[in-house]
Chain A
Amino acid sequence: MSQADLTIGHPTGQTLGPAFAIPTKKLAMWLFIIADTMTFAACLVAYGFLRNGTPDWPRPFHSITNVAIMTFILLTSSLTMLIGLRSARAGDKAAAFRWTMITAALGIVFAFLHIREWMGLIDEGMTMFKNPWGTGLFGASFFSITGLHLTHVTGGVIALLVVGVRYKGGRYNADDIEVLGLYWHFVDLVWMFVVPLVYLLNLTH
């Protein structure tokens, strides 16, 4: 039985902290992540729904090299984010700033590789509504899902730069780095769903 239950019916006005002792900004980020999970889930479920219902679904990817590199970079950026947070918690401001910037740089490299991949596919004739290999839905769902993810990465990079600089200037503290880190890891986690569903399932046999 929780403390909250014990106070019911005892009009003594006992002191209670916040329900789960979680700071408001962190709670808000978790709530955002819940909502965003629903958005990504809706898109991925829609993708699965369409993919299962379409006979001529194309499998145009020949190699996993590029996506493996991208995945490696994004995973590494989660690690650098963690190191940055640990430095911030330890009070090492210079290191925390440096690792935050490295995280942002990895995000930029990821976005660059992603756009290069997009350009390659567009050069091969893939658009939002047609491609040389099969149903036009492939391009529609590929660009929509990876585009949504890329938007999140871009937003994350901007946030990393802003929070990093302001942390260095003293306006933000280690808690803010932690909250931003939650977001960054979430974007990373979503990618772990995008890779198997959108890339590996569509590899040429």
Chain B
Amino acid sequence: MHDMSVHAGQHHAPPTSFIRKHVFSLDHKVIGKQYYALALVAAFIGMFLSWLMRIHLAWNNAAIPGLQLLSKTGAPGGVMTPEYYLQLMTMHGTIMVFFVLTTAPFAAFGNYFLPIQVGAEDMPFPRFNMMSFWVTFTAFLVLMSSFFLGDGPTLGGWTQYAPLNAVGSVAGPGQGLGVVLWMASIALFCVGQLLGSLNFITTTLDLRVKGLSLMRLPLSAWAWFITSCMGLTAFAVLMPACILAILDHVAGTSFFVASNLVINDQIQPHSGGSTLLWQHLFWFFGHPEVYIAIVPGMGIVSHVLLANMRKQMLSQRTLIYSMGALALLSYMVYGHHMFVSGMNPYSSLAFSFPTLVITIPSTIVVLIWTFSLYGSRLRINSASLFALGFISMFVSGGVSGFFLAQPSIDIMLHATYFVVGHFHLVMGVAAMFGIFAGTYFWFPKMTGRMMNETLGKAHFWLSFVGAYCIFMPFHYLGMAGNVRRYASFVDDYLQPLIPVHRFITVAALCTGAAQLIFLYNLIHSRFRGEAAADNPWEATSLEWSTATPPPFDNFGGKHPVVYHDPYQYGVQSSVGDYVMQASPEQVKSDNEEK
């Protein structure tokens, strides 16, 4: 029985045709790269949309040349209508949360490196894995296709609140077919991520090589494992919610529409449903989703920092337990998104408490990082800089979470830019920095070439300073009462804030442009970069003990045996100050966990 499960990943032989090799590939490494490419394209589209929105917010009546080509009705003469602003905002949020922050750190890096880090040849269900990517890709196409509808994509925001998501085109442009496409796309996305999570969990539990106990897994593998446990349960709730919303559109049901609703002076034919029900179903998924986006980043950052600190974490075990606690608690706090929804105030109290509790494991994680960094001779490179940047962003964005966790304060701040600043820093930029750290760190292994360090560092400093310039002022805007989700700020009391908006817009344009350095570095290094050694960072985990890039079956027909904890840095061995997991060498070490 053991042999069967250990070798379950060897079902398929190396492909020979171009299509089976690069398009419909069963190889987890190719699928990982496909996910990365999808996330990259999505990230640039999402960023471009945010540029358009920022320009419109800062210079309200300015025509953006060429915008009318994107949508004749949405931007007549290049000037954005309020509805079109909301449509772009919705697409920006949806693309970023689902197709960037979920796919890149979790699906892309996880697919590529989880099987290698456990010493397996592939995932146990390669066909499911291939389906997972292609279903996700189809979901992306379905979402993008709504740009080409006559009235454009949906304008309901990435949360698609009821009843606007259920009443049809009477609620505004894009609320008819646009919403149906959105719901279909996200339901498909759920299917893709469920298949992925299934593979990740079985890989972690069943395919580990000899000697690799759970506690010997690298922190990145732990993070993907924990994330897939969340993915398995969270996406399974969003999927039926999306299907019910589709039924409200096409089958005449009223799950999410209350009786006697009047929209645009028309009484709606629906009756009997509940608008709050959608929020409950959505946020039961939505809050774990936040951690699905950030926990892989925590794992990647720990992994990258360890290789550059050249010493062990203060307590690897506590870090793992904290990530697990975050995952568990993430299901109990979802109501903090609904403090202003009209939910029973006692429920707010019940959701506020675990929300404050969840700051404890978050704080433990940050403290372990900082105290581990203390006294280490950190190797400064693009990867470790972005890892430090992750910690900085996570703390800066997390601190405002303490405020928002309390219903009495949240009621004031909920509909303002304070919340926008909070979640962009803590889950948007932080998770992006995790993706960048992973990219600079693993690029040599994935492609066999090094990325350019000078460009990488320039990319880091511009992004780091730029991100703060964009998102810190959001907090001040919020406290000054600047409402969010508005297409323009024409009221008297908002006029003095317009210069702040202009500053943010300029910062966003510059920071966005700095990402082109990354794109150039990525493409140029892929073809012209310096050749990479098998273990350029002198790191210890299994991905570094195989060839660069890894062969089709990852370890060239051999099965590595693991002899050590994942991060044996700061020891004396025959190769230097580290010993690899797969090396049988016995070393003296003072800092192995007891």
User: B125 — which chain A residues lie within 8 A by C-beta?
Assistant: 28
- Whether B198 lies near A8 (C-beta < 8 A) is no
Query: A193: shortest Cβ distance to chain B, in Å?
Result: 15
User: B240 — which chain A residues lie within 8 A by C-beta?
Assistant: 39, 42-43, 46, 148
- Of the four ranges (under 10, 10 to 19, 20 to 34, 35 or more), the interface on chain B belongs to 35 or more
Considering only residues 131-163 of chain B, those with a C-beta below 8 Å from chain A are none
- Of the four ranges (under 10, 10 to 19, 20 to 34, 35 or more), the interface on chain A belongs to 35 or more
> A54–B237 Cα gap in the complex (Å)?
23
- Whether A16 lies near B244 (C-beta < 8 A) is no
- Whether A28 lies near B202 (C-beta < 8 A) is yes
- Whether A13 lies near B253 (C-beta < 8 A) is no
- Whether B273 lies near A50 (C-beta < 8 A) is yes
- In the complex formed, the residue of A with least CB distance to B212 is A16
Asked if B470 CB lies within 8 Å of chain A CBs, one says: no
Asked if A7 CB lies within 8 Å of chain B CBs, one says: yes
Name which of B1-9, B298-306, B380-388, B418-426 contacts chain A.
B1-9
With known contacts A11-B586, A128-B253, A46–B277 Cβ distance under 8 A: yes
Q: A49: which of B4, B234, B277, B587 is its contact (CB, 8 Å)?
A: B277
Asked if A90 CB lies within 8 Å of chain B CBs, one says: no
Asked if B562 CB lies within 8 Å of chain A CBs, one says: yes
Asked if B271 CB lies within 8 Å of chain A CBs, one says: yes
User: B592 — which chain A residues lie within 8 A by C-beta?
Assistant: 8-9
- Whether A38 lies near B236 (C-beta < 8 A) is yes
Asked if B251 CB lies within 8 Å of chain A CBs, one says: yes
Most central of B8, B211, B213, B564 by chain A CB within 10 Å: B213
> A4–B232 Cα gap in the complex (Å)?
25
User: B255 — which chain A residues lie within 8 A by C-beta?
Assistant: 46, 50, 137, 140-141
Q: A9: which of B208, B214, B234, B594 is its contact (CB, 8 Å)?
A: B594
User: A27 — which chain B residues lie within 8 A by C-beta?
Assistant: 201-202, 205-206
With known contacts A13-B561, A21-B2, A27-B205, A144–B124 Cβ distance under 8 A: no
Asked if B239 CB lies within 8 Å of chain A CBs, one says: yes
Considering only residues 260-292 of chain B, those with a C-beta below 8 Å from chain A are 271-274, 277, 280-281, 284
Which A residues lie at the B interface, using CB under 8 A?
3-5, 7-9, 11-24, 27-28, 31-32, 34-39, 41-43, 46, 49-50, 53-54, 127-129, 135-137, 140-141, 144, 148
Known: A42-B236, A49-B277, A136-B272. 19 other contacts (CB 8 A): A4-B215, A5-B215, A8-B215, A9-B593, A13-B211, A13-B563, A19-B206, A22-B5, A31-B232, A35-B194, A35-B235, A46-B241, A50-B272, A50-B277, A128-B247, A128-B252, A137-B253, A140-B254, A148-B240
